[in-house]
């Protein structure tokens, strides 16, 4: 079987669920090595062994994070060669896709983004045109670079744990010529689940009229992430990070509750692959009702608080 | 300054979009200038205007690659205020993936940089059809230039560019020296509409047509033949159908929770 390289960027103390998904997918395709950037903590090391990783690579340079993408792509290119990788897997974040883009040129490798599943013969599945088509695609090159969306693989440790060797990859000298990141501000964490991986998303639009309270309270009762339409983020009612849609995040949760959002094509582009869509909107003509599994024609300021109370009551 | 803005001719998302033919490429009948490229064009126009415009030697060149219809994207860019238009068109380009597209565009940009070098290449954050956002980074890699992507603000001072960008957990300030490839988000500005004067002026602006031979690209390196990915199957998803719609009669919140419980989502 082909060798697979999984890129793990600054995992911190524990691997994210989406990384465990990549490792599980990687193992289904071949012997899996990891190219890590950042600290390798003991907990992460132990998980990599549990997931059957055969080798762990680390970069010779510590400052990859100071350069925008290009340094990581150069490192990963060298790691892929060292691993003899036929497939490189990255997460589907904007940064993951960009690293994949540059890596593809470095390795003369085809890049496929937004992948939701990979067959053992390398065929990758994804949806395109804002979710209106599902497609299968392959690369025609010796190496394939794939960025994989979260929540499409069930993480599973290997049947037999491994004892991966760690080795250092020399980062090519041309890696540190690109754009430099000269300042970084940590964003305030909301304490809620991350929007991209959340099982449930409650999203508000212009209809909240400046008050995200009912949306946030329902989200908290459901353990959900909070999303928003561009009208709501443009108005400054909530951070741009919450924006779901073509130019915001793409989410694919089990449940998406849309409140006070009309359902423009650019909003639908980010959420219509949700398993179940619930819409609350005053206007029966809103296009969101065309795709809602359960639609409520009503005022969100009545419906959401009542639902929140009812959930609390039932959960006791 | 010499700024090249990439403008893509894409199917209008307001209509149903389709994949057709052997390579499952997008049907481009009802196409427009990609909305996300309008932000790049606006950013270029603002940079040029702040430096005294075309009179002071600041040129904004709109470059589109695509079949005959793609010239409409260039025309729209000229109406908005670009100084020149370039249409890269060749039957050999049909079916190009991101890698092949970036190869052709890199060659076109090198070609346009003979004489006076290009200072800046501006693009939208993604196309609204392919939606991959691969091309700006691949172009930067091919041209050996720094990339500054997903810029939500942009300043150019002397030979340096400074941009803000929003990553998942950080807001970043990014600096690079020119020339550079920069992609911008829809947060950066509010694109202008072409006005009457712009529409009249556009009629007098020239559009250069380039072929693969003009830019020295071997047709086997682009198009279907030169692409590194191939679509093997495509299936239209059945459109989502509407489910149950109720009107709130004072108990819709409770009925919503009943629905969630029935779906085992509580
Ligand atoms: C290039 C481009 C990119 C874009 N990217 C995105 C994107 O990523 N994400 C995105 O969301 N949009 C995006 N948009 C914008 C998109 O086209 C819409 O303008 C936007 O989604 C509208 O947001 P909205 O539904 O909240 O507002 P509106 O369209 O104004 O709808 C508000 C809705 O709330 C309802 N309402 C009002 N009050 C109440 C109440 N009390 N209770 C219940 N319902 C109520 C109204 O009936 C109405 O349906 C983009 C646009 C462009 C041009």
Interchain CB distance below 8 Å, B17 and A129:
yes
Q: Is the pLDDT of residue A301 over 70?
A: yes
A112 in B contact zone (CB under 8 Å):
yes
- Those residues with Cβ within 8 angstroms of residue B56's Cβ, 6 or more apart along the chain or in another chain: none
The stretch A8-14 carries a mean pLDDT of 95
Q: Give the pLDDT of residue A244.
A: 97
- ipTM (interface predicted TM): 0.90
Q: Is the pLDDT of residue A242 over 80?
A: yes
Q: How many CB pairs under 8 A join A and B?
A: 266
pLDDT band, residue A142 (cuts 50/70/90): very high
Q: Report which of B109, B106, B104 is spatially closest to residue B219, judged by C-alpha positions.
A: B104
Interchain CB distance below 8 Å, B173 and A182:
yes
Q: Is the pLDDT of residue A130 over 90?
A: no
Q: Is the pLDDT of residue B15 over 80?
A: no
Q: Chain B neighbours among A 29-68 (CB < 8 Å)? A: 68
Interchain CB distance below 8 Å, B170 and A247:
no
If one counts every other C-beta atom within 10 angstroms of the C-beta of residue A284, the result is 11
In a mutational test of the pocket of ligand 1, which residue from A231, A248, A269, A305 has the highest number of ligand atoms less than 8 Å from its CB?
A231
Q: Is the pLDDT of residue B168 over 90?
A: no
Q: Give the pLDDT of residue B130.
A: 74
Q: Give the pLDDT of residue A278.
A: 98
Helices A300-315 and B252-262, axial angle in degrees (round to 10): 50
User: Which has the minimum average pLDDT: A180-194, A292-306, B111-125, B246-260?
Assistant: A180-194
The stretch A201-218 carries a mean pLDDT of 98
Please indicate whether residue A299, judged by its CB atom, sits closer than 6 Å to ligand 1.
Answer: yes
> ∠B224-B230-B232 over CA atoms, to 5°?
125
Question: Quick check: B137 and B147 in contact, CB under 8 A?
Answer: yes
In a mutational test of the pocket of ligand 1, which residue from A248, A266, A278 has the highest number of ligand atoms less than 8 Å from its CB?
A266
Q: Chain B neighbours among A 121-160 (CB < 8 Å)? A: 123, 127-141
Interchain CB distance below 8 Å, B237 and A302:
no
B13 in A contact zone (CB under 8 Å):
yes
Give kind and range of the element (H or E) at residue A3: strand A2-9
What is the DSSP secondary structure assignment for residue B104, as one 8-state letter? H
The stretch A261-282 carries a mean pLDDT of 94
If one counts every other C-beta atom within 10 angstroms of the C-beta of residue B41, the result is 29
Nearest CB among B99, B162, B242 relative to A104 is that of: B99
Q: B79 phi and psi, to 5 degrees?
A: -65, -35
Q: Give the pLDDT of residue B98.
A: 94
The stretch B170-177 carries a mean pLDDT of 94
pTM, whole model, 2 decimals?
0.91
The stretch B250-255 carries a mean pLDDT of 97
pLDDT band, residue A177 (cuts 50/70/90): confident
Centre of ligand 1 to C-alpha A209, Å, is: 12
Q: Give the pLDDT of residue A129.
A: 80
- List the helix and strand counts (H, then E) for chain B: 8, 15
The stretch B87-91 carries a mean pLDDT of 97
Q: Is the pLDDT of residue A116 over 90?
A: yes
Q: Report which of A256, A266, A257, A271 is spatially closest to residue A234, judged by C-alpha positions.
A: A266
User: Which has the minimum average pLDDT: A84-98, A126-140, A285-299, B86-100?
Assistant: A126-140
What is the DSSP secondary structure assignment for residue A171, as one 8-state letter? P
Task: From residue A224, give the alpha-carbon distance in Å to each of A255, A293, A313.
Answer: 9, 18, 18
Taking CA atoms only, the protein residue closest to ligand 1 atom 49 is: A262
Half-sphere exposure of B168 (CA within 13 A, CB side): 14
Interchain CB distance below 8 Å, A110 and B99:
yes
Helix (H, G, I), strand (E, B) or coil at B227: coil
Handedness of CA A106, A109, A112, A118 (dihedral sign): negative
pLDDT digits (tens, 9 = 90+) for B204-231: 999 999 999 999 999 999 999 999 999 9
């Amino acid at each position: 079987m082909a060798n697979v390289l999984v890129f793990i960027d600054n995992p911190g103390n524990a691997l994210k669920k989406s990384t465990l998904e990549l490792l599980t997918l990687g193992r289904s395709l071949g012997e899996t090595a990891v190219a890590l950037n950042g600290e390798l903590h003991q907990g992460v090391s132990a998980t990599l062994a549990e997931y059957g990783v055969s080798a762990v690579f680390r970069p010779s340079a510590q400052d990859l994070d100071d350069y925008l993408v290009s340094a990581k792509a150069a490192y990963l290119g060298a790691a892929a060669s060292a691993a003899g990788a036929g497939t490189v897997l990255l997460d589907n974040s904007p940064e993951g896709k960009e690293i994949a883009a540059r890596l593809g040129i470095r390795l003369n490798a085809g890049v496929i983004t937004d992948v939701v599943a990979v067959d053992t013969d390398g065929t990758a599945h994804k949806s395109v045109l804002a979710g209106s088509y599902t497609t299968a695609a392959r690369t025609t090159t010796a190496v394939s670079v794939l960025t994989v969306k979260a929540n499409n693989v069930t993480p599973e440790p290997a049947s037999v744990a491994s004892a991966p060797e760690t080795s250092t990859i020399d980062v090519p000298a041309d890696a540190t010529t690109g754009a430099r990141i000269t300042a970084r501000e940590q964003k305030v964490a909301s304490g809620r689940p991350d929007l991209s991986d959340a099982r449930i998303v409650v999203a508000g639009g212009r209809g909240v009229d400046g008050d995200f309270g009912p949306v946030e309270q329902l989200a908290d009762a459901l353990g959900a992430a909070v999303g928003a339409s561009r009208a709501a983020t443009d108005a400054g009612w909530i951070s741009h990070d919450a924006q779901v849609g073509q130019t915001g995040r793409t989410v694919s949760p089990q449940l998406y509750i849309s409140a006070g959002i009309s359902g423009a094509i650019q909003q639908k582009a980010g959420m219509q692959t949700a398993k179940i869509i619930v819409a609350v909107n005053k206007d029966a003509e809103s296009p969101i009702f065309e795709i809602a599994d359960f639609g409520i024609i009503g005022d969100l300021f009545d419906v959401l608080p009542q639902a929140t109370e009812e959930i609390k009551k039932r959960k006791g | 300054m010499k700024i090249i803005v990439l403008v893509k001719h894409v199917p209008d998302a307001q209509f149903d979009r389709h994949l057709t033919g052997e390579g499952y490429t997008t049907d481009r009948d009802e196409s427009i200038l990609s909305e996300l490229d309008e932000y790049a064009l606006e950013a270029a126009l603002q940079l040029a205007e702040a430096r005294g415009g075309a009179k002071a030697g600041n040129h904004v060149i709109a470059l589109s690659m695509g079949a005959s219809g793609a010239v409409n994207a260039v025309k729209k860019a000229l109406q908005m205020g670009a100084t020149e238009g370039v249409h890269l068109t060749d039957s050999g380009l049909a079916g190009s993936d991101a890698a092949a597209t970036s190869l052709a565009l890199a060659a076109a940009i090198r070609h346009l940089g003979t004489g006076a070098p290009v200072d800046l290449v501006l693009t939208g954050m993604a196309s609204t059809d392919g939606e991959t956002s691969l091309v700006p980074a691949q172009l930067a890699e091919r041209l050996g230039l720094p990339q500054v992507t997903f810029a939500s603000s942009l300043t150019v001072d002397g030979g340096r560019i400074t941009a803000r960008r929003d990553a998942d957990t950080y807001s970043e300030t990014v600096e690079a020296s020119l020339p550079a490839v920069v992609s911008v988000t829809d947060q950066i500005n509010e694109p202008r509409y072409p006005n009457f004067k712009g529409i009249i002026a556009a009629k007098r602006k020239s559009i250069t047509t380039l072929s693969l031979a003009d830019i020295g690209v071997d047709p086997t390196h682009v198009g279907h033949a030169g692409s590194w990915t191939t679509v093997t199957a495509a299936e239209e998803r059945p459109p989502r159908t509407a489910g149950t719609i109720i009107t709130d009669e004072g108990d819709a919140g409770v009925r919503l929770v009943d629905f969630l419980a029935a779906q085992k989502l509580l």
